[in-house]
Amino acid sequence: MILNRLKKNLKKTKLVLIKEGTESFRLYDQDIPEYPYVIDVYGEEHVIIWPRMNSKMDEGKEDHFMETLDALVELLNIPRSHIHIKGRFKQKGLKQYEKIKKQKQTIIIKELGLNYLINLTDYLDTGLFMDHRPFRKKLTKSQGTGLKLLNLFCYTSSISVAAASAGYITTNVDLSNTYLEWSKENFRLNELSISNHQFIKNSAVTYLQQEITSDNKFDLIFLDPPTFSNSKSMDKEFEVEQDHVQVITNCMLLLKSNGVLYFSNNKKSFKLASDLKEKYQIKDISYQSIPKDFRDKKIHQFYEIRKIL
């Protein structure tokens, strides 16, 4: 049953994406309720499977899970060891499939003709949030020469790589040295000189507070915070719903008069504060910003925010 669905999805998705130079995509997104997984393909060789089961649904799903692994091996002609399982199973019988030790298995994959370093084994996320592929596509096709992009909570800076390939000069802010180093590697992999771009280790919230009075203004800001964040190096914890008004207000002060802020987040229940809607010109671009290979059209909320001139 699952094999046929995977075949159908592969046929529908792969050819379209290969033509645009993309080799990572969502093959399966909980299409069949009895097979509650998300399956992502990374290049010709690797697959990540995310079980999305709760304890009730878990029961009796062991056979389905093994059937899915077999189907992936057959369909993609890859060894079982190239199917990487993320997340946690609630059912005992399935726990044997969970990752036992760290393995630092990395590959380079192409998206829209650009190279990205992917870590298949050591973190919950791989280094590339595929749900923002359409936004990266928009950036690669834009004319960015002479324009400045600020990427807050930049993670591995895939958005900045796409922008830099179109000529943007980027400033990338993240709390984590690991992700800033990974960002630089992504730039190098695309022969984009890192000396033209900035990589700043700071809390995005503190960076904004420090910079709002500066004359350094941006044409574009990409703000993609986690739902929640807490770290010793932060004055206080960050929660997207509670803190988005302050952060967006500060971003708007850092924009040029015709600049655009792109604000995204993954909190399912997130509601944009209504006073922001009165102060700025805000367009909800969530639906159009989600890739065709994602069935979950609520994977993120995405807003385009401009000053009212």
Ligand X SMILES: C[S@@+](CC[C@H](N)C(=O)[O-])C[C@H]1O[C@@H](n2cnc3c(N)ncnc32)[C@H](O)[C@@H]1O
Which residue number, 48 or 173, has a Cβ lying nearer to ligand X? 173
Residue with the two structure tokens 């928009």: 138
Contacts for 255 with CB less than 8 Å, ≥ 6 apart: 217, 218, 219, 221, 261, 307
Nearest-CB residue to ligand X?
A: 229
Cα 128 from Cα 159, distance rounded (Å):
9
Pick 153 or 218: Cβ nearer ligand X: 153
Alpha-carbon distance of 252 to 257, in angstroms, equals: 9
**Smaller CB separation from ligand X, 22 or 158:** 158
How far from chain centre, in Å, is Cα 132? 6
Phi/psi zone of residue 92: left (φ > 0), alpha (ψ -120 to 50 degrees), beta?
alpha
Q: Based on CB atoms, which residue is closest to ligand X, 83 or 159? A: 159
Counted residue by residue, the chain has a size of 309
Chain positions contacting ligand X, by CB under 6 A:
153, 155, 173-176, 179, 203-205, 224, 226-227, 229, 234, 238, 265-266
Q: Hey, what amino acid is at 219?
A: D
| DSSP at 34 | T
Least distance in Å: CB of 82 to ligand X?
24
CB of 263 to ligand X, least distance (A): 11
Of 115 and 227, which has the nearer Cβ to ligand X? 227
CB of 84 to ligand X, least distance (A): 18
What residue type is 277 in one-letter code? Answer: K
CB of 201 to ligand X, least distance (A): 9
Q: CA 269, CA 168: separation in Å to the nearest integer?
A: 33
Q: Give the shortest CB-301-to-ligand X separation in angstroms.
A: 10
